[in-house]
Chain A
Amino acid sequence: MNGNIIAINFPFIVVALLLALGFYTIGFKRNLIKVVIGVEILESAVNLFLIALGYVKGGYAPIYTLAPKKAVGNMVLPTPQALTLTSIVIGVAVSALMLAFAVNIYRHYGTLDVTRIRRLRG
């Protein structure tokens, strides 16, 4: 029974591992670029979770163009896909903003180490 649940819920386990990896990267890495990469991993974990929540077993893509006959009434949920689309674009914009701030921090302090950029410098 336990192995069965692991086999069925495998996408959620992947989501959990990705979340753990992202939190590890944010919490234990010192380089700001690596922190940004951790945030990106967290984002992809959340996107994967949303998509996996909307999956219906044996469903087809919610598009009527040249769909097979069986697809009518047997489609995956479209709302999580729409929300994930929103989330992806916002993620790209936010990561660009974070990288721009990292560049500015490097210009100002000469380092990307988060433990060494605490003091003020004019």
Chain B
Amino acid sequence: MRKALGLFAFLGFTLFLLAATMSLRPFGAPPHTEMDHYFITHAQEQASANNVVTSIVFDYRGFDTLGEATVLFTAVAGVLMVLRRKEVSS
């Protein structure tokens, strides 16, 4: 009974997602492009790199990358802590 109810809700959710894709903007026509056009036209003189994606990752949005590096460091430390060889317990 619970499984049937869950399946029903899941099917409704899937139909909602498919209906949402129908009413989305058409693929290939993004709504707001002013910021990206600024990046594309000014990245070479401001960030001095041919690769616009790299200049966004490391220059315009550097704080994002800083937080991401912190997340990566924390995850690695967490894995090393969790998988430590157990000598005390059990």
Contact = CB atoms under 8 A, between A and B. Distances in A.
Direct contact between A and B in the complex (CB less than 8 angstroms)?
yes
Interface of A: 2, 5-6, 8-13, 15-16, 19-20, 23-24, 27-28, 52-58, 62-65, 73, 75, 77-79, 81-83, 85-86, 89-90, 93-94, 96-97, 100-101, 103-104, 107
B25 to A, nearest CB: 9
Range of interface residues on chain B? 35 or more
Interface of B: 3, 6-7, 10, 13-14, 17-18, 20-22, 24, 26-30, 33, 35-36, 39-40, 44, 50-53, 56-57, 61, 64-65, 68, 71-72, 74-76, 78-79, 82-83, 86
Contact of B72 (A16, A52, A90, A101): A90
Given A13-B21, A82-B61, A100 B78 contact: yes
A28 B21 CA distance: 24
